[in-house]
Every structure is written in C-alpha cells, then in structure tokens.
Amino acid sequence: MSEPVRPPRRFHHVGLRALEPQPDENEVTASKCWVTSPLTHPNRIEFLRYEADSPIDPEFMDAPHIAYEVDELEPQLAGRDVYLQPFEVGEPPFARVAFTREDGLFVEYMQFVPGRRWFNE
C-alpha cells in the first residue's frame, strides 16, 4: 500500500532534552515541560526540560524529535502512528501540535495561529 499524498511541510526545529534550566524557557502546561525557542537558536534547536511529574513517557523524553510547520494538522496525521494527540500550546495558544512516530523517530507537526510564531509574540 502506498503512502497517501500529503500537503507540504516545512522544517521548523530539532528538539533535544535538557536536564538543567535553560535561558528564556517557556512552560508547556499539558506536558509539564519547559522549552526554549528554536527561532533564536542558530541551528533551530529547541531544548525541552521535563518536570518530575510530567505525564510524558521517558522513551519520548530521551529521544530527539524533528518538527515541521504545516498549514493543516489533520492531513499530516492521517494513517500515521500518532504518539501524542493534538493539543494547544501557549496561553493564549499560538499553535496546535501533535507528535507521530515515523521510521523510528518522533515527529512533531505544528499548525500555527495566524500571526503568531512562539509563546511571547
């Protein structure tokens, strides 16, 4: 069976775990995680630091992920192994995101609110 044709996606960042607090972290309430902005990192890296009571599985915490910006989230998720169902990020939300597992890698898809790019914009 062939892979369905999907709308384009654009590289956004690579996510890596951090064990120590990082400068300019923002809290992702749903996952009890602190993240840095990949928009300010020269290599588009987002560092993620998890609270001790985070509901996220340690397998995910310790693995890198790659993130893509998409115009619509659902077409990217269709037929894929969805690891984390869609959820909103930020207060007020600046994006709706979901994570899949593809080819042994965690992949994040990000649908941004028009005019917003990160937490404090």
Predicted TM-score of the model (pTM): 0.92
pLDDT of 41-91, one tens digit each? 999 999 999 999 999 999 999 999 999 999 999 999 999 999 999 999 998
Confidence label for 6 from pLDDT (cuts 50, 70 and 90): confident
pLDDT of 106-120, one tens digit each? 999 999 999 999 998
What class does CATH assign to 10-112? Answer: alpha beta
What local confidence, expressed as pLDDT, does residue 2 receive? 64
Confidence label for 39 from pLDDT (cuts 50, 70 and 90): very high
CA–CA separation, 1 and 20 (whole Å): 44
**CB 96 within 8 Å of CB 111:** yes
Q: Which residues does 13 contact at the CB level (< 8 Å), separation at least 6? A: 38, 41, 44, 45, 46, 66, 67
What local confidence, expressed as pLDDT, does residue 120 receive? 82
Q: Domain ranges in the chain?
A: 10-112
What does the pLDDT average to over 3-29? 93
What does the pLDDT average to over 20-49? 95
Q: How far apart are the first and last CA of the chain?
A: 43
> What is the amino acid identity at position 95?
A
**CB 68 within 8 Å of CB 12:** yes
Q: Tokens for 111?
A: 């649908």
**CB 52 within 8 Å of CB 63:** no
Cis check: omega of the bond before 64, within 30 degrees of 0: no
What local confidence, expressed as pLDDT, does residue 1 receive? 54
Residue by residue, DSSP assigns 102-119 as: ETTEEEEEEEEPTT--ST
